[in-house]
A and B are shown apart, each in its own frame.
Chain A
Amino acid sequence: MKNSRLIIIAVALLICAIGVMSIYSSTYQKEGRIWQDIYKRQIIWMALGVIFFFLLSNFNYRKLWDATYPLYVFAIFLLFLVFMLGLTRMGAQRWLKLFWFNFQPSEFAKLVMVIFLARYYSTKSSFDVGLSAARLNLMKGFVLPLLLTFIPVGLIIEQPDLGSGVMVLLVFMAVVFISGVKFRYIGSFLGIGIACMPILWHYLRGYQKERLMVFLNPNIDPLGAGYTVIQSKIAIGSGGIFGKGWLSGTQGQLRFLPEAHTDFIFATFAEEWGLLGCAVLLFLYYLIISEGIRIGMRTNDAFAKLLAFGISMMLGLQVLVNIAMNLGLAPVVGVPLLLMSYGGSSVFVTFIALGILANIDKQRSVF
């Protein structure tokens, strides 16, 4: 048997190292101490993340089963806190200031929702000790968990953080799909969802609509939302096969590319490392996600299975959406790139999620 824990932490640290290099590259020419210190902050978060990875990988994940509902309530409480702060500050509010750092509860809520849904769908039927998910009716099998998911999603979108909100919804769809809920429920939800698009469109904020429109044709608004996509594509494309070399990317360095150290860090990396670098990076991501899926397939515990699949999908979807957005293949919604984008909460929560994965594999031998 391979040691999954070792693979996961090794790959994660590799990706983190690449991330720190790219963050350094995108900020080192900017003036001001804050910019210079950004990569150091990221390293501190990484270190904290690694500690929690090892803590969680030795912490029996079955205890999460018991803690599910308190966690869910706590996550909603945090989101609500952010919501209230947002109301008083009259603007976008995604962070809670804890001691000396800012924490983004929406990242935490993503993980909690995976645990919550994993527990929800791994309830056994009391008749034959089989999984009940496939036999649940529309109400219990779909509508109720959907409503319970919509509480945090609504609070997140209201922040406004459309990206994270949509991510949680996608993770919900993934878990529901894997848990074996009847196809027709999922299908009809998707159908209704698509039918409601024009109505939902109405509720989007101006800049969100603009971004979606720009996704269809970036040249309609070179002044605003289209600019980022155009610059990102130029950055990636100009990298070519071998890249321009570390610290030599003009797009990222000369500030042509906005958000070069956060949501568009992939473009920064691609410009400097080229197709070869990107291939390595994509391979690393694929490795870590498929390891998660493999862990899910190996375990016999229904809760652990759903948890492992859910976490893997959460990570996988984030990677796919972020890179697609960098390539201009998806609309610009604020989704950070796993372990690479600057942002403590995201790195921290990702390490915790990976720790849970490692622990699932460790507990397997106990059963």
Chain B
Amino acid sequence: MRVRAVIIFLTTGFIILSSGLVNLQVIQHKKLKEFSDRNCIRLIPQQGCRGKILDRNNKIIVDNSISYDLLLIPQRGLSVEASLSKIAKILGTDYVKLKSTYNQGYIAPFVPITIAANITTHQAIALEELKSDIPDILVQPHPLRRYPYGTLASQVIGHLGEIDHWRLSKLADYGYQTKDVVGFGGIEEKYDYYLRYKEGALSVEVDHRGRFIRTIGFKPPQDGKDISLTLDLGMQKIAESAMAGRRGSVIIMDASDGGILVMASSPNYNPSVFIEKDRSRISSIFNNPNAPLLNRAISANYPPASVFKSIVSAAALETNKINLSTSYLCTGSTKIGNRSFACWDIHGKQDIFDAIAQSCDIFFYKTGLLLGPDIIHDYAVKFGLSRLTNIDLPYEVGGFVPSRTWRKIVKLRNWFDGDTANFSIGQGELMVTPLQITRVTGVFATNGLILYPHIIKAVNGKPVYVVPKKPSRISLKASTLNTIRQGLRKAVSDSKGTAGNLASAPVAVAGKTGTAQVPKGMSHGWFAGFFPFDKPKYIICVMLENGGSGHAAAMVTDEIISAIYKENIL
């Protein structure tokens, strides 16, 4: 019985195949024969637009413009030389140069050759008019990345280039292919998968000479998704112009959610150089000793210097090593072990408020020695140092917090009191990124929250975080936070405060300066603070690489805040 079913099954199968054959070879024969005769189907890849990058108010930071390529189809028997000399006249280029591009690009009689890329709209129109004389030229538009503000936020945005071997090996599984244009650095790299367009294709029937007959199938290209950042275009511009000619970075963070309003790193570069493929300018970017490609806000480590003192204060208050009535006398120097440690000034009697405001080193040497390196280390880690903030940008570095164990195991040296003293004023082996310091300052601005710094707001208008990432809370006493906040305010409001120049700012600012001595060159200057003091909305961190002092950083801060209020951006 079942054998019979099998026989019927097989026989039916063969009948179906036979009828399929008859269908194709008899019924559809004429149509398919024509397809085959015309020989046959050509595929024309269709480019889409890469997604735009927008600021928090959906103002364009990076978009695309239409550019034109000139192609020539060699096969039609017309004199190539004559065509090329006419084209050379319009483009204003050398005929010999065109001829050599033509010879290099030649593949087959029917394959169009790109003679010139990125020609102007003017030239494109002129060439289109020439088409009645030379029918075998083709002007093809394609989208090109445009940077309307040039160098603005260049390290945050990143640039574009042809995919390299290393990236291809990692991304091949996601449909990336050789010659694909991908992002390098910044948003362009991190969110490349969203930004990139999906190539479409037009399958057209062409005759034996490559002439278009009709379209058979079309898969439209899909444009990349637009990405909105939390950046504020106006504030970013102000910060970058304040940083012009200096090295360093500025970060302004939204105290309510950790959104980055400004991230400026100086010097910067113009990403359009990579679009124009201007070799000499590209190599001058790579060879620039000031490393314009480096995002100094997240990818560079610096000693925090006095900015670190707020963490030491918090540790000391929290562990009751000092209280509000503790005071030390600053005579300009103190002896620790058999070495003399100097303060940068002679401050006299200093309590915690004065010590923060005037950044007295003596106070913190002594407080640090009371705490010991272990507690300072633990508090530094608690404030998020030595780990990544996990901001949504690539190539973030995490800084470093030294400890006794590390010193023993890695450096094979003991930890001395002198090291503790240096540690207490943020010098020595301690390393941080400006973004980490911004987040530390945020703890005092938000009464104890470690914010999640982020720079992406939405993809194609849809918020990225369906459930917003909640900041975590550091367990600190309200009195501790309040004391340090008062100290930070005093640094600005007190006539002796290190950031006294900010007292005239249009808003009540609080913050801490820092002057980090470096082995070579001028000191680094820091200012990390928040404003308005009563209800902090913004956290600002200005870092000047070899900029001289914290005072210089406070000056830049003043310039930025004044300009922001003057232009009424907030």
Task: With both chains docked as a complex, state the minimum distance between the C-beta of A276 and any C-beta of chain B, in angstroms.
Answer: 10
* CA gap between A32 and B217 in the complex, in Å: 34
> What does the 1/0 interface line of A247-290 toward B look like (CB < 8 Å)?
00011001010000000000000110011001100100110011
Please measure, in the bound complex, the distance between the C-alpha atom of A234 and the C-alpha atom of B3, giving whole angstroms: 37
Q: Chain A interface mostly helix, strand, loop or mixed?
A: helix
Asked if A332 is at the interface of the complex by the 8 Å CB criterion, the answer is no
CA A296 to CA B10, docked complex, whole Å:
15
Number of A residues whose C-beta is below 8 Å from B? Answer: 47
Contacts of B7 in A (CB 8 A): 290, 293
Does B17 lie within 8 Å of A320, measured CB to CB? yes
0/1 string, A216-240, CB within 8 A of B gives 1: 0001111100100011011111111
Instruction: Return the CB mask of B6-43 against A: 1 if under 8 Å, else 0.
Output: 11001001101110111011101101110111011101
Of all chain B residues, the one with the shortest Cβ separation from A219 is: B217
Let me know if B2 is at the binding interface, CB within 8 A: yes
Given A178-B2, A222-B43, A309-B6: A324 touches B32 (CB 8 Å cut-off): no
Is the CB of A297 closer than 8 A to any CB of chain B?
A: yes
Contacts A237-B24, A316-B10, A327-B20; is A250 near B217 (CB within 8 Å)? no
What are 21 of the A-B contact pairs (CB < 8 Å)? A220-B217, A221-B219, A222-B41, A223-B199, A223-B203, A231-B41, A234-B40, A237-B31, A238-B29, A238-B32, A250-B37, A256-B41, A282-B14, A282-B17, A285-B14, A286-B14, A293-B7, A309-B6, A320-B10, A320-B14, A329-B16
| B216 near A222: Cβ-Cβ < 8 Å | yes
Cβ of B116 within 8 Å of any chain A Cβ, yes or no, is no
Main SS class of interface, B:
helix
On chain B, the residues within 8 Å of A270 by CB distance are: 21, 25
Please, how many angstroms separate the alpha-carbon atoms of A278 and B19 in the complex?
12
- Tell yes or no: B201 within 8 A of A by CB: yes
- Contact B22 A275, beta carbon cutoff 8 Å: yes
Q: Are A236 and B24 in contact (CB under 8 A)?
A: yes
Cα(A237)–Cα(B35), bound, Å: 10
CB–CB A329/B20 < 8 A: yes
Q: Is there an interface contact between B25 and A278, defined as CB atoms closer than 8 Å? A: yes
Q: A178-B6, A234-B32 are in contact. Are A279 and B18 (CB under 8 A)?
A: yes
Q: A-B contact count, CB below 8 Å?
A: 126
Shortest distance in angstroms between A322's beta carbon and chain B's nearest beta carbon?
10
A237-B31, A296-B3 known; 15 other A-B pairs, CB under 8 Å? A177-B6, A219-B216, A219-B217, A237-B24, A237-B29, A237-B32, A241-B29, A274-B25, A275-B26, A279-B18, A293-B10, A313-B10, A323-B17, A327-B20, A327-B24
Q: Which of A287-338 touch B at CB < 8 Å?
A: 289-290, 293, 296-297, 309, 313, 316, 320, 323-324, 327, 329
- Contact (Cβ within 8 A) A278 B21: yes
Task: Indicate if A174 sits at the interface (CB-CB under 8 A).
Answer: yes
Provide the residues of chain B in CB contact with A235, threshold 8 Å.
Answer: 36
Chain A contacts for B28, CB-based, 8 A? 237
Does A180 sit at the interface, judged by CB under 8 A? Answer: yes
Chain B residue with the shortest CB-CB distance to A305: B3
- Residue ID in chain B nearest A222 by CB atoms: B203
CB distance from A275 to the nearest CB of B (A): 4
B window 84-135: CB within 8 A of A: none
- CB-defined interface of A91-113 with B at 8 Å, one 1/0 digit per residue? 00000000000000000000000
Whether the Cβ atoms of A293 and B6 lie closer than 8 Å is yes
